[in-house]
């Protein structure tokens, strides 16, 4: 019996590519990353999700698309 419930999240970058537009902070190029998240409960994977995150390639700020 597992008395200690361990929940772990692992993120893995699947791909990177250039996105259109420029960073509003420094004017640098925007990079789009496809990230796969995997949640584990007692070392058994039970949830997968793929997200797209946007970062500036110059100042490394995380950007939010509205």
Answer whether residue 2 is part of any domain. Answer: no
Q: Which domain holds residue 32?
A: 7-61
In order of 3, 5, 22, 34, 48, the CA distances from 53 in angstroms are 36, 29, 15, 6, 16
Q: Would residue 50 count as lying in a domain?
A: yes
Give the pLDDT mean for 13-31. 93
Average pLDDT of the chain is 85
Per DSSP bridges, beta strands 29-41 and 7-22 are antiparallel
The answer to whether residue 66 is domain-embedded is: no
pLDDT tens column, 32-50: 999 998 887 776 777 788 9
In a domain, 17, yes or no: yes
Does residue 57 fall inside a structural domain?
yes
The answer to whether residue 59 scores a pLDDT higher than 90 is yes
Half-sphere exposure of 14 (CA within 13 A, CB side): 10
Is position 55 within any domain? yes
pLDDT for residue 26: 93
Give the SS3 label for residue 35.
Answer: strand
Nearest residue to 50 via CA among 1, 5, 3, 11: 11
Counting the structural domains of the chain, the total is 1
């Amino acid at each position: 019996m597992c008395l200690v419930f361990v929940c772990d999240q692992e993120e893995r970058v699947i791909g990177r590519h250039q996105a259109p537009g420029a960073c509003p902070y420094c004017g640098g190029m925007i990079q789009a990353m496809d990230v796969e998240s995997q949640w584990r409960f007692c070392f058994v994977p039970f949830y997968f999700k793929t997200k797209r995150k946007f970062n500036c390639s110059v100042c490394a700020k995380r950007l939010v698309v509205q």
